[in-house]
Structure 1
Amino acid sequence: MNRRTDRTPAQAVTGMVDHVLALAAGWTAWDGTPTHVDDRVYTPHKAIRRVADHLVDHLAELEARLAGEPPLPDHWHASTATTPADLAPFTREDLDEARSRLTRLAQVWAVRLDALTDEQLDDSPGDGWSFRELALHTAGSVYYADAVGDLT
């Protein structure tokens, strides 16, 4: 994954969150029918959960690697699991909570990424993708929101 864009890594992550929240603004109209995409089931709550989990998971990886520690292994069930909570109606309060959660996570990512030099972004310590690639990978979380789609 050696993609370069004209966006900074921080802008890629914050732009992803902006896109997710723009779609989520219409999810209060969700009729309760899950969407089936690529042999998986998606709902508004599941999309928000997956985006947040993805941001947390890779932020923890980035911070561990910067500290010279091995990242903890990933034990997420990811998008294979659909929980009863994922099937709940998506209310205005849920949207407000999603906005608070995701914008704060995006800010943490942006502050961390903007503090790194280009060399640190591209020649990152430890095993795995460079931090630039990790940010671009994380920005791919739009997939979960796009699976639910625009319900306005």
Structure 2
Amino acid sequence: MTESTQIFAPARPATAVTGMVDHVLALAGTWTHWNGEPVHVDGRVYTPHKAIRRVADHLIDHLAEMEARLAGEETQPDRWHASLVTTEADLAPFTPEDLDEARSRLTRLARIWANRLDSLTDEQLDHSPGTGWSFRELARHVQESVYYADAVGDMS
């Protein structure tokens, strides 16, 4: 677990996800000052748009996994290697409108996660159907998406 995820390691899995999104959006609030230079971390390139995209993708990918497992279906593998790829769109300026869109999108995704996780019993959270992490562990894994925002950092 990274230092950032240790900051909010809550008892409720839903709070792991909503706390992560709050952390990401707090940093994103400083990104409208981005100078256009990508940040190089751990051999990869990060920008404000890429960080938001990666957080949203991670939330969607694992939400789809959780829902498939709850429905007794096979999960669909993610075939997109998005952390390795930096698109032209990722290099665009990060405007106040982009921040507003990110706040709307990530806040709604976090609420979907919170609603789903809060509807599960402790038994379901800890002994989840299908193959993979328990849903409690999955929430903690998704929480590690702070990495993408932390890679870009505070641009105040």
Q: TM-score, normalised by structure 1?
A: 0.96
2:143 to 139, 143, 147: 139
Structure 1 residue 62, shift from structure 2 partner: 0.1
The unaligned stretches of length 5 or more in structure 2 are: none
Question: 1:39: which partner in 2?
Answer: 43
**Residue pair 2:10, 2:16 contacting (<8 A) in 1 also:** no
1:121 to 119, 122, 125: 125
Q: How does 1:30-109 map to 2 (within 5 A)?
A: 30-109=34-113
Could you report, residue by residue, the CA deviation over 1:26-73 in whole angstroms, capped at 9, with x for unpaired residues?
000000000000000000000000000000000000000000001111
Could you report, residue by residue, the CA deviation over 1:58-114 in whole angstroms, capped at 9, with x for unpaired residues?
000000000000111111212100000000000000000000000000000000000
For 2:135 and 2:77, locate their aligned partners in 1 and report how far apart those are by CA, in whole Å: 18
Structure 1 residue 6, shift from structure 2 partner: 3.8
- The number of equivalent residue pairs is 150
After TM superposition, which residue ranges in structure 1, 4 or more long, deviate above 4 angstroms?
Answer: none
Percent of aligned pairs with the same amino acid:
77
For 1:95 and 1:78, locate their aligned partners in 2 and report how far apart those are by CA, in whole Å: 20
Question: 1:10: which partner in 2?
Answer: 14
The unaligned stretches of length 5 or more in structure 1 are: none
User: What is the aligned-residue RMSD (CA, Å)?
Assistant: 1.3
Letter in 2 for 1:118: D
SS at match of 2:131: coil
For 1:15 and 1:143, locate their aligned partners in 2 and report how far apart those are by CA, in whole Å: 13
